[in-house]
Amino acid sequence: MDIERIISNRLLEQFVNSIITPIQDWLTAHPVWNWLLTHPLWLIGLILLILFLVTGLIGAIARLTEAIWLAILQAPLKLIQWLLLGIARLLKIPFTVKKNAAKPTQESQQERLAIILNRLETLKREQDELLQEVRVIFTKDEG
């Protein structure tokens, strides 16, 4: 039984050595990775940073593809709009609705000014009341 254990232990040691030796050689050739493996907190931080950057990159790619697809799907509609506007200009058809924007008269400007001044006076009174209330609160705290 001892011979079988010795043989199985030697086989196990050779198997483990055949796996560990190339890894040790690689870590010797790459000291940065060796340092990271001996400092696991830095390794975890680096992995989290890489994950964060990769998710940001994937999100940016998703937004870019969404913008491209929207541009592709809107292109025929924009082309039709461009053609219709070009035809309307050639035929001199008014395509836009003109707004009746009346110029402000002197009276409407005076009315607006009166409204603004009344509002400012109301705000001034409210401000004075609030300041008086603050003074009362401070005098109660001091006394």
Query: CA 117 to CA 110: how far, in whole Å?
Result: 10
Asked, for residue 134, whether it belongs to a domain, the answer is yes
Asked, for residue 131, whether it belongs to a domain, the answer is yes
Asked, for residue 66, whether it belongs to a domain, the answer is no
Asked, for residue 79, whether it belongs to a domain, the answer is no
Asked, for residue 125, whether it belongs to a domain, the answer is yes
Tokens 């009166």 identify what position? 114
**Domain containing 123: what range?**
102-143
Asked, for residue 140, whether it belongs to a domain, the answer is yes
How many domains are there within the chain? 1
Q: What pLDDT is recorded for position 67? A: 96
Read off the pLDDT of residues 71-81 as tens digits, 9 standing for 90 and up: 999 999 999 99
Query: CA 15 to CA 7: how far, in whole Å?
Result: 12
Asked, for residue 109, whether it belongs to a domain, the answer is yes
Q: What pLDDT is recorded for position 97? A: 53
Q: Rounded mean pLDDT of 57-83?
A: 95
Read off the pLDDT of residues 10-43 as tens digits, 9 standing for 90 and up: 888 999 999 999 999 998 999 988 888 888 898 8
Distance from the Cα of residue 26 to its chain's centroid:
40
Asked, for residue 21, whether it belongs to a domain, the answer is no
Q: Rounded mean pLDDT of 89-116?
A: 76
